[in-house]
A and B are shown apart, each in its own frame.
Chain A
Amino acid sequence: MRPILMKGHERPLTFLKYNREGDLLFSCAKDHTPTVWFADNGERLGTYRGHNGAVWCCDVSRDSMRLITGSADTTAKLWSVQNGTQLFTFNFDSPARSVDFSIGDKLAVITTDPFMELPSAIHIKRIARDPADQTSESVHVLRGHQGRIARAVWGPLNRTIISAGEDAVIRIWDSETGKLLRESDKETGHKKAITSLAKSVDGSHFVTGSQDKSAKLWDIRTLTLIKTYATERPVNAVTMSPLLDHVVLGGGQDASAVTMTDHRAGKFEAKFFDKILQEEIGGVKGHFGPINALAFNPDGKSFSSGGEDGYVRLHHFDPDYFNIKI
Chain B
Amino acid sequence: MADALIEERAALLGIDISQIGLDSIQLPPGEDFGIESDDEDLYREDNLELDTGLGNVIIVDNLPVVPCEKFEKLEGVIHKIYSQIGVIKDDGLWMPVDPDIEKTRGYCFIEYNTPQEAELAKEKTNGYKLDRSHIFAVSMFEDFDRFMRVPDEWAPPETKPYTPGENLQQWLTDEKARDQFVIRAGSDTEVLWNDARQLKPEPVHRRPFWTESFVQWSPLGTYLATVHRQGSAVWGGASTFNRLVRYAHAQVKLIDFSPGEKYLVTYSSHEPSNPRDPQRVVINIFDVRTGKIMRDFKGSAGDFAAGGTGAVTWPIFRWGEGREDKYFARIGKSVVSVYETETFSLIDKKSLKVENVMDFCWSPTDPILALFVPELGGGNQPARVSLVQIPSKEELRQKNLFSVSDCKMYWQSNGDYLAVKVDRYTKTKKSTYTGFELFRIKERDIPIEVLELENKNDKIIAFAWEPKGHRFAVIHGDGPRPDVSFYSMRSGNNTGRVSKLTTLKGKQANALFWSPAGRYIILAGLKNFNGQLEFYNVDELETMATAEHFMATDIEWDPTGRYVATAVTSVHEMENGFNIWSFNGKLLYRILKDHFFQFSWRPRPPSLLSPEKEEEIAKNLKKCSKKYEAEDQDVSMLLSEQDREKRRMLKDEWAKWVSRWKQMHEEEKLERQNLSDGEASDEEEEYKAKEVEVEELLDVSEEVLSFDYEE
In the complex, B31 has a CB within 8 A of chain A: no
Q: Mark B682-701, 1 if CB is under 8 A from A, else 0.
A: 11000101000000000000
**Chain A residues, Cβ within 8 Å of B679:** 62
Q: Which of A202, A205, A219, A232 contacts B683 (CB 8 A)?
A: A202
| Residues of chain B in range 656-684 having any CB-CB distance to chain A below 8 Å | 657-658, 661, 664-665, 668, 671-672, 675-677, 679, 682-683
Write out, one digit per residue, whether chain B residues 571-597 have a CB within 8 A of any chain A CB (1) or not (0).
Answer: 001110000000000000000100000
Are B551 and A265 closer than 8 Å at their CB atoms?
Answer: yes
A257 engages B668 (CB within 8 Å): no
Contact bitstring A243-264, B, C-beta under 8 A = 1, else 0? 0010000000100010001101
Nearest-CB distance from A87 to chain B (Å)?
19
* Bound-complex Cα distance A48 to B551 (A): 45
B268 at the binding interface (Cβ < 8 Å):
no
Instruction: Name which residue of chain A comes closest to B573, CB basis.
Output: A257
On chain B, the residues within 8 Å of A50 by CB distance are: none
Partner among A103, A204, A232 whose Cβ is within 8 Å of the Cβ of B592: A232
Q: A105: nearest residue on chain B (CB-CB)? A: B676
Chain A residues with CB under 8 Å of B661's CB are 202, 204-205
In the complex with contacts A204-B661, A261-B574, A276-B654, A104-B668 CB distance below 8 A: no
Interface range for B: 20 to 34
Name the contact of A226 in the complex, choosing from B651, B657, B664, B683 (C-beta under 8 A): B657
**Chain A residues in 8 Å Cβ range of B657:** 219, 226
- Determine whether B650 belongs to the interface, using a CB cutoff of 8 Å to chain A: yes
Tell me how many residues of A have a C-beta within 8 Å of chain B.
29
Within 8 A of A (CB), among B42-96: none
Within 8 A of B (CB), among A200-215: 201-202, 204-205
B235 interface residue per 8 A CB criterion: no
Q: Establish whether residues B677 and A104, one from each chain, have CB atoms under 8 Å apart when the complex forms.
A: yes
- B353 touches A (CB below 8 Å): no
B672:A157 contact, CB within 8 angstroms: yes
Asked whether A253 lies within 8 Å of B650 as measured between CB atoms, the reply is no
A277 within 8 Å of B by Cβ? Answer: yes
Report if A318 contacts B (CB, 8 A): no
Say if the beta carbon of B499 comes within 8 Å of chain A. Answer: no
Residues from chain B with a CB closer than 8 A to the CB of A253 are: 574
Give A102 to B676 CA distance when docked, in angstroms.
Answer: 9
What's the least CB distance linking A51 to chain B, in Å? Answer: 29
B574 — nearest CB in chain A belongs to which residue? A265
Residue contact B671 to A204, C-beta cutoff 8 Å: no
Q: Quick check: is B425 within 8 A (CB to CB) of the other chain?
A: no
Q: Report the nearest A residue to B550, measured CB to CB.
A: A264
Q: Contacts A202-B683, A226-B657, A261-B574 known; A158 to B675 CB distance under 8 Å? A: yes
Q: Given A21, A62, A299, which contacts B676 in the complex, CB threshold below 8 Å? A: A62
B574 x A299 contact (CB < 8 A): no
- Given A204-B658, A265-B551, A265-B574 in contact, is the A157-B671 Cβ separation under 8 Å? yes
Interchain Cβ contacts under 8 Å between A and B, 22 examples: A21-B687, A104-B676, A105-B676, A156-B668, A157-B671, A157-B672, A157-B675, A202-B661, A202-B665, A204-B665, A205-B661, A219-B657, A232-B575, A232-B592, A257-B573, A261-B574, A264-B530, A264-B550, A265-B575, A275-B654, A276-B651, A299-B689
With A103-B672, A157-B671 given, name 19 new contacts (CB 8 A). A21-B689, A62-B676, A105-B676, A106-B675, A158-B675, A201-B683, A202-B665, A202-B682, A204-B658, A204-B661, A205-B661, A226-B657, A257-B573, A262-B530, A265-B550, A265-B575, A276-B651, A276-B654, A277-B650
